[in-house]
Structure 1
Amino acid sequence: MLRLEWSAGTILLRGGSPPPSIAAFFKYDPRVNCYRSLAIQYRWIVEELERAGLEYEDDVIHAPPCRFNKPRNLTLRDYQREALEAWLRERRGVVVLPTGAGKTIVAVAAIAMLQAATLVVVPTLELMDQWERAIKRFLGVVPGRYGGGDKEVRCVTIATYDSAYLNVEQLGDKFMLIVFDEVHHLPSPGYRQIAELCAAPWRMGLTATPEREDGLHIDLPYLVGPVVYRRYVRELAGKWLAEFDIVRVYANMSREEQEEYRRLTSRYRSFLRKRGLKMRGPQDFEKLIAMSVRDIEAREALLAWHKARRIALHAAKKLDILREILSRHRNDKVLIFTEHNDVVREISSRFLIPAITYKTPEEERRAIMRMFREGRVRAIVTSKVLEEGVDVPDANVAVVLSGTGSRREFIQRLGRVLRPKEGKRAILYEVVTAGTKEVRVSRKRRRGL
């Protein structure tokens, strides 16, 4: 009789050659004198064996039996119920909902309904904390944690992407369901192995924007499943998210900034024309970066591009505009986003605003967020730290002083101020340098709202 066995991120087939219906999943491994497949294929292998009516023994998943109480205080909104129903049809797929729309609730409802051992994978320790609170609150159980020094597997276990990647060979046979929060991280060359070396037949991805600049999101249907449900910010604003306005404010460069910007962009464009290069996407720019390693002209052109971009992102007039916005919203809670940490520090020093960067110690970060929640701090300036997986309480004004063309970054920044509250209307200011590429970048990142 055929027998399926777990083996450190793979499945061994013993007892004979794979029948034609599953032959494509396996390769012969002479080291163990049997056939081997990636663990991700487990569901499809079992489905094909069942469909063919073949007898087999299954020793792949070693998940503990799980029983949860009926979820407490868990009421699904209409779109959350639709998302859950769409996912349950195949028990695979990606749910796309805006930041603040309650993606976690959809996953918790699925865990409760399936009564299955579950691994939740998250990008940050702060998200681990948020998930732990949600599991305790709604399911009444204490989850295990894998990350930040913890290594404890329970019926529901929460792991960071880094910890799951490093330990997937030990974790991959312990769960029936795997939930990837912020699933857009998954297709990267390293993290994708979490999905490939895990046998869990049921998979859910959660994100506000599945698309990646490098195009690797095309692998999500294989790793997790296709997008099964999607709602946009504007569809939910007013009822489930705060009403909002987006205001673009133009900053004019000084004469010196204009002259330097034109000189630098002219040098960059001249190089492209000379070499017959066209910048149609990230791949073309990556080729230029590769050229710059050995080509001094390419290196100088790339340096000119970076300097010109920095002038556009951080024109001096932007800080004058920020001062006006802060004065106008002195009674509101304001989040300020900028691209570079040195500018974060400058704003913090000039306006006496607490700053949070990747270097901010965890204890200090928690203290700043607590003071913001209590109203003792009215504004915070940050680079990218508060964009993903951080619950920012009561913020209703966001100021984007600089950023990329990424729609995900923009949606996440907007999402920081969309938590619903009676009578709340959020506002996001985009401060854009006039006459630069930043204007086009601003238009690009607004798509998909």
Structure 2
Amino acid sequence: MSYSLRNYQKELIRNIINSMKKGHKKIMVQSPPRSGKTVVMAHIAKSATDQGKQVLFFSHRKEINEQVAETFIRGGVNISQVVIGTVGSLVRKLESLPPPDLILVDEAHHIKAKQYQTILKFFDKAIQLFFTGTPIRLDGAGFHDLADDLVVGKSIQWLQKHGNIAEFDYYSVNLLDMAKLKKRSGEFTNGSVDAALDFNTEYGDYLDHYERLAKGKQAIVYTHSVEYAERVAKRFSEHGYKSAVVSGKTPRNEREGAMRAFREGRLMIMVNVNLFTEGIDLPGVDVCIMLRPTASLSLYLQFAMRALNPREGKRAILIDHVGNHLRHGLPNDDREWTLDGTKKKKKESEKSPVTCERCFATFWRERLKDGHCPYCGNEVVKKKEIEELERPQSNVELQKINQDMEFINIRGESVEVTRAEAIVFHRVERYGKQYKRCKNLAELKAFRIIHGYAPGWLWHKQKELNIWRN
């Protein structure tokens, strides 16, 4: 049984064919996560096998390959003329493989890796199609040295507008001390994420935010380590939400059982460590909770898009506890893709993201309604307005602030601040340990930083003092 392709998928295939007609043999194909790349590949593979051609498909995960094999069979591909395998398994038996006429690679932003290159160079006479949602490496490098052409699919915004990807509400409730993050090979280390999340404290309750924003909805939670994942799953389970942890270390039968239970709705919370990020369909997920910071745009979009399978009346909920949107923008930002990498389209100021201090909804500035949050109606105060409200009271204070307006010394560290923030810091320093003297959110934030409290402290004191505005 062949699939019925959507119009934008047919357009993508036509553009790939046109590129091949121009003589290109190594083509990068960009299409967002959840846009149906596997179905497109199945159609292309069927066309090839119908003509008696040999096809090779590979990716870096067996879970992706298993799903691709099922999709190819349902799509009418002559599977006897197709080899499907992981990179690691194929690279050891290249001599024994039938020479392919067509190579399909999924999650192809990985193709610069050594084993990928070994396979692609061994079969360099084949047409090679590299499918990915993000044609960019962690270091920002592109693929002009490996691909002859780039075919770009529809954007996430276009797919949302036409009902192919679900709309979402994005909430940014940061629980992370970002100053503690450290990178190795371009990505944040697990040890630094432990430190940044303040591993031994319960400040910043992700469970509380789930219950407030998405209670009763199936959620997938992304974490950085098995230890932290088990802690998260335990807390959810203790509060009545049936949860499971899955990772690369989970035995296959346990992982498959968890996936089956999740798909059937018998499991409410799936906490995962570096798994189910690429190419795996979990259609019942309505909520994504990010407890893992990442420097990778590709990984971030895989996290965020996991909950965006469309359904009538569905509006997904994305809860970002680690500031990923500060690094990468909102998931449906416009991005300009090239083989040299990517650069975000420069937005006018009204397109910049805004986070409401009361409800933590994060949205583009253009959605403000007369300066108020479109979700809760809270007035969103700009820094310029804060500066006008927080003028110093004397010439002596003004002189001190002007001297310190770029850097303030906090606990022996120089912290870069704006002039308006410097005014607030100097005032709050006079409060000593009396946090109840804070009159607004700006003062409460400064108090937390001055005294070195964990990020979650702010959330609890906001609730205690009922402070939600600057």
TM-score, shorter chain, exceeding 0.5: yes
1:112 & 1:415 partners in 2: Cα distance? 27
User: Alpha-carbon deviations, 1:338-370, whole Å to 9, x = none?
Assistant: 122211011122222211111111111111111
Question: Is the 8 Å Cα contact of residues 95 and 207 (structure 1) preserved in structure 2?
Answer: yes
2:204 & 2:246 partners in 1: Cα distance? 18
- Is 1:213 the counterpart of 2:141? The answer is no
Question: Is the 8 Å Cα contact of residues 122 and 160 (structure 1) preserved in structure 2?
Answer: yes
In the alignment, residue 87 of structure 2 is paired with which amino acid? Y
Q: Quick one: which of 37, 42, 45 aligns to 1:108?
A: 42
Question: Is the 8 Å Cα contact of residues 120 and 157 (structure 1) preserved in structure 2?
Answer: yes
1:155 & 1:311 partners in 2: Cα distance? 51
Counterpart residue number, 1:81: 10
Q: Quick one: which of 274, 291, 311 aligns to 2:195?
A: 311
In the alignment, residue 243 of structure 1 is paired with which amino acid? E
The 1:330/1:446 distance shift into structure 2, 3 A limit, reads same
2:41 & 2:272 partners in 1: Cα distance? 29
Question: Is the 8 Å Cα contact of residues 188 and 216 (structure 1) preserved in structure 2?
Answer: no
Pairwise mapping of residues 39-438 of structure 1 onto structure 2 (< 5 A)?
72-91=1-20, 92=25, 93-114=27-48, 115=51, 116-139=53-76, 141=78, 143=79, 154-171=80-97, 174-215=99-140, 217-218=142-143, 221-238=144-161, 239-251=163-175, 309-314=193-198, 316=201, 320-326=205-211, 328-352=213-237, 353-432=243-322
How far residue 392 of structure 1 moved from its aligned partner, in angstroms, is 1.4
The 1:237/1:157 distance shift into structure 2, 3 A limit, reads same
SS at match of 2:114: coil
The 1:213/1:240 distance shift into structure 2, 3 A limit, reads same
In the alignment, residue 189 of structure 1 is paired with which amino acid? K
2:5 & 2:191 partners in 1: Cα distance? 49
Question: Is the 8 Å Cα contact of residues 176 and 196 (structure 2) preserved in structure 1?
Answer: no
The 1:362/1:110 distance shift into structure 2, 3 A limit, reads same
2:263 & 2:192 partners in 1: Cα distance? 38
Question: Is the 8 Å Cα contact of residues 405 and 445 (structure 1) preserved in structure 2?
Answer: no
2:278 & 2:185 partners in 1: Cα distance? 26
2:118 & 2:234 partners in 1: Cα distance? 43
User: Alpha-carbon deviations, 1:268-326, whole Å to 9, x = none?
Assistant: 9xxxxxxxxxxxxx8xx669x9xxxxxxxxxxxx9xx9765533235645651333314
What TM-score, normalized to structure 2?
0.62
Please, which runs of 5 or more residues in structure 1 have no aligned partner? 1-71, 144-153, 254-260, 269-281, 290-301
1:383 & 1:333 partners in 2: Cα distance? 17
2:332 & 2:35 partners in 1: Cα distance? 19
Counterpart residue number, 2:361: none
How far residue 333 of structure 1 moved from its aligned partner, in angstroms, is 0.8
Question: Is the 8 Å Cα contact of residues 107 and 204 (structure 1) preserved in structure 2?
Answer: no
Q: 162-171 or 95-104, which moves further after superposition?
A: 162-171
Question: Is the 8 Å Cα contact of residues 203 and 225 (structure 1) preserved in structure 2?
Answer: no
Question: Is the 8 Å Cα contact of residues 60 and 87 (structure 2) preserved in structure 1?
Answer: yes
1:199 & 1:139 partners in 2: Cα distance? 27
Question: Is the 8 Å Cα contact of residues 176 and 321 (structure 2) preserved in structure 1?
Answer: no
Pairwise mapping of residues 14-33 of structure 1 onto structure 2 (< 5 A)?
none
SS at match of 1:89: helix
Question: Is the 8 Å Cα contact of residues 46 and 77 (structure 2) preserved in structure 1?
Answer: no
User: Alpha-carbon deviations, 1:205-248, whole Å to 9, x = none?
Assistant: 11111200135542xx4545422123332221141111112211
The 1:177/1:245 distance shift into structure 2, 3 A limit, reads same
In the alignment, residue 337 of structure 1 is paired with which amino acid? Y
SS at match of 1:174: coil
SS at match of 1:158: strand
Please, which runs of 5 or more residues in structure 2 have no aligned partner? 238-242, 336-470
In the alignment, residue 13 of structure 2 is paired with which amino acid? L
Question: Is the 8 Å Cα contact of residues 169 and 318 (structure 2) preserved in structure 1?
Answer: yes
SS at match of 2:205: helix
2:251 & 2:219 partners in 1: Cα distance? 21
Aligned residue pairs, count: 320
User: Alpha-carbon deviations, 1:400-432, whole Å to 9, x = none?
Assistant: 012212111111012211111111111111013
Question: Is the 8 Å Cα contact of residues 120 and 159 (structure 1) preserved in structure 2?
Answer: yes
Question: Is the 8 Å Cα contact of residues 248 and 430 (structure 1) preserved in structure 2?
Answer: yes
The 1:75/1:369 distance shift into structure 2, 3 A limit, reads same
2:329 & 2:28 partners in 1: Cα distance? 27
What TM-score, normalized to structure 1?
0.64
The 1:129/1:286 distance shift into structure 2, 3 A limit, reads closer
User: Alpha-carbon deviations, 1:21-53, whole Å to 9, x = none?
Assistant: xxxxxxxxxxxxxxxxxxxxxxxxxxxxxxxxx
User: Alpha-carbon deviations, 1:165-197, whole Å to 9, x = none?
Assistant: 2222333x5211010111111111232111111
User: Alpha-carbon deviations, 1:133-191, whole Å to 9, x = none?
Assistant: 111111153x2xxxxxxxxxx311211111222222333x5211010111111111232
Question: Is the 8 Å Cα contact of residues 31 and 153 (structure 2) preserved in structure 1?
Answer: yes
2:276 & 2:7 partners in 1: Cα distance? 28
Question: Is the 8 Å Cα contact of residues 187 and 217 (structure 1) preserved in structure 2?
Answer: no
How far residue 90 of structure 1 moved from its aligned partner, in angstroms, is 3.4
How far residue 111 of structure 1 moved from its aligned partner, in angstroms, is 2.2
Question: Is the 8 Å Cα contact of residues 169 and 197 (structure 1) preserved in structure 2?
Answer: no
2:303 & 2:192 partners in 1: Cα distance? 24
Question: Is the 8 Å Cα contact of residues 335 and 399 (structure 1) preserved in structure 2?
Answer: yes
